[in-house]
Amino acid sequence: MTLSTGLRFAEVKVGDELPMLTKHPTTRQLVQYAGASGDFYEIHYDRPFAEAGGLPGVILHGLLKAGWLGELVQGWAGPNAFVRHIEASYRGIDEPGRPYHLKGKVVSVQSNAEPSSGGIVELEVWGEDERQRRTTLGSARVELDT
């Protein structure tokens, strides 16, 4: 996905869908993320440990999935947008070696007090597995110029 040159508030309407972002996570990437984040919980890189805990194998870090939601939102909005808020909750596990799809849609638009100054766009965002199960749910608030 390439960054937009700058989405304008006037171009956005309720119901618009964000272009899907697909990630192809690997165990190596999870190890790299563990090093960068300091989250060395073994369920993210040690298969026997994860399986002994009842998991099907190693699983993606929740905050990595949240970061990808941020990438989805900023990529859609463009470099001049301001992501004011983003949140995520984890509703299922995802494993490396399987595609992970990030999607979203516009749920509200609100003009700023001065019409020539753009407005706030509220988004519903989520991550889903290859069976279209939403395993990460979230929302975002983005400020766009006119």
The reply to whether 20 and 54 lie within a common domain is no
Q: What is the pLDDT of residues 118-128, one digit of tens each?
A: 899 999 999 99
Give the pLDDT score at 112. 85
Q: What mean pLDDT value characterizes the chain? A: 94
Contact between 83 and 76 (Cβ < 8 Å): no
For the residues 14-28, what does the mean pLDDT come to? 97
The reply to whether 80 and 119 lie within a common domain is yes
The reply to whether 15 and 31 lie within a common domain is no
Which residue matches tokens 């799809």?
101
For the residues 65-75, what does the mean pLDDT come to? 97
What's the domain range around 33? 26-59
- The structure's pTM equals 0.91
The reply to whether 110 and 131 lie within a common domain is yes
The reply to whether 34 and 81 lie within a common domain is no
The reply to whether 83 and 124 lie within a common domain is yes
For the residues 9-31, what does the mean pLDDT come to? 96
The reply to whether 76 and 8 lie within a common domain is yes
Contact between 127 and 48 (Cβ < 8 Å): no
The reply to whether 68 and 46 lie within a common domain is no
The reply to whether 44 and 105 lie within a common domain is no
Residue 132: CATH number of its domain: 3.10.129.10
The reply to whether 69 and 120 lie within a common domain is yes
- Provide the token pair at 19: 């272009």
For the residues 47-59, what does the mean pLDDT come to? 97
**115 band by pLDDT with thresholds 50, 70 and 90:** low
